[in-house]
Amino acid sequence: MKKNRLYQVRSFGEKFNASFDSFKRAWKILFRFSLYLLLPLSLLQTIGMDEYYSNVFASAAIGTDTPDQMTAIIQNGPAFSLIIAVSFVGTAFVVSLVYGLMKKYQQGGSLDGLTFKTFWKEAQGRGFQRVCNILLFGMLLTILAFLVVGLLAAASLYSLIVTLPALLVFMVPLSLWAPIYLIEADTHLVEALRKSYRYGIKTWGSLFVLALVMTVIVYAVSCLLQIPGMVMIGIKALAFPQLDGFGSIAYSFITYVVMAAGTFFSWIAMLPYLFAFGYHYGSAAEQIDNVTAAEDIAHFDEMGDNNVDDPAFESKRSDIDDFEEL
């Protein structure tokens, strides 16, 4: 992971490879830190998923008349709320984990001997709060955007010809909001949002392709991981609805373990996806703002404050001044 500099102009293939390379290099610490929070969250999320899908399959098994549908909606309400709440916390954790590690590498930090407690204090705790801010504010922006699209569609369906592409243009740059807000320590929420659109619009094509490819990969992997548990729930609801006693307890326990494992590794599958957007941000920042050169000049000026009497430094400073005048 350390050889993958953040601020470096990259092609699509280079960003794709860097994402999986970073995941491969840091998988031990990623997996260890994920066990601390994602595993408990997966166990909790599985309770809601098991209840939700059991009700769905049970409703399908006994018919689809109106009273049963209304009963299923009422039964699924608490389970669905649990799934959403756990997903919110889990998303905040994985996003803050990935971009916290990328920020630490960018600052020259090392993962050797890094403990979860230390990492949480140094980076992830603050990052977790920042991701929660993004999720809440982002949901508000998304609701407003869809509300506008819905109102215009109610007035005229032809408006969708314009509003749906506009909505796509609006949504794609938001994928850069989190890496900017978490990696750039001094950037505020709204400033990070503004910068995400500045970078996202100027690199929209490559960002869209990256988002599309990574989303398809993550979604496919997640579906494959969830299929065994879903099949087991369906078999019990549709083929063995009267199963009870020890057989029912044993089958339910095995189903729960399979679903929990699938949920946990679905969270793990998101990590390369997040790395990809982090590297796209680094590429866009270098391409548009030439971040590396700006940091070098700032660092050089900082050195100058401590070496104003050094003739060698003055010679190098004049070279920098000449470069800035070009």
Per-residue confidence in pLDDT tens, the chain, 326 aa: 445 789 999 999 999 999 999 999 888 889 999 998 899 999 999 998 888 787 777 666 665 543 344 555 566 778 888 888 999 999 999 999 999 989 888 877 667 777 888 888 777 778 899 999 999 999 999 999 999 999 999 999 999 999 999 999 999 999 999 999 999 978 999 999 999 999 999 999 999 999 999 999 999 999 999 999 888 888 877 766 565 655 677 888 898 999 999 999 999 999 999 999 999 999 999 999 988 865 555 554 555 555 555 555 455 444 444 434 44
What is the three-class DSSP state of 73? helix
Count the neighbouring beta carbons within 10 Å of the beta carbon of residue 47: 16
What residues contact 257, with CB distance under 8 A and at least 6 apart? none
DSSP letters spanning 30-54:
HHHHHHHHHHHHHHHHHHHHHHHHH
pLDDT recorded at residue 173? 95
The number of domains in the chain is 1
Could you tell me if residue 21 is inside a domain?
yes
Phi-psi region of 109 (alpha: psi -120 to 50; beta: other; left: phi over 0): beta
| Within a domain: 146 | yes
Whether 302 is in a domain gets the answer no
Tell me the residue type at 270: M
In a domain, 42, yes or no: yes
Domain assignment present for residue 105? The answer is: yes
Give a yes or no: residue 319 inside a domain. Answer: no
User: Minimal CA–CA distance to 152: which of 143, 163, 141, 144?
Assistant: 163
What is the C-alpha to C-alpha distance for residues 77 and 192, in angstroms, rounded to an integer? 35
Task: Determine, yes or no, domain membership for 297.
Answer: no
Domain that holds residue 45: 12-289
- Residue 279 amino acid letter: Y
Q: Is 28 exposed, middle or buried (0-12, 13-18, 19+ CB in 10 A)?
A: exposed
> Residue 123 has what pLDDT?
72
Within a domain: 243: yes
Residue type present at position 312: A
From its phi and psi, is residue 242 left (phi > 0), alpha (psi between -120 and 50) or beta?
alpha
Dmax (CA) for the chain in angstroms is 89
pTM: 0.82
Number of helices (H) and strands (E), helices first, in the chain? 12, 0
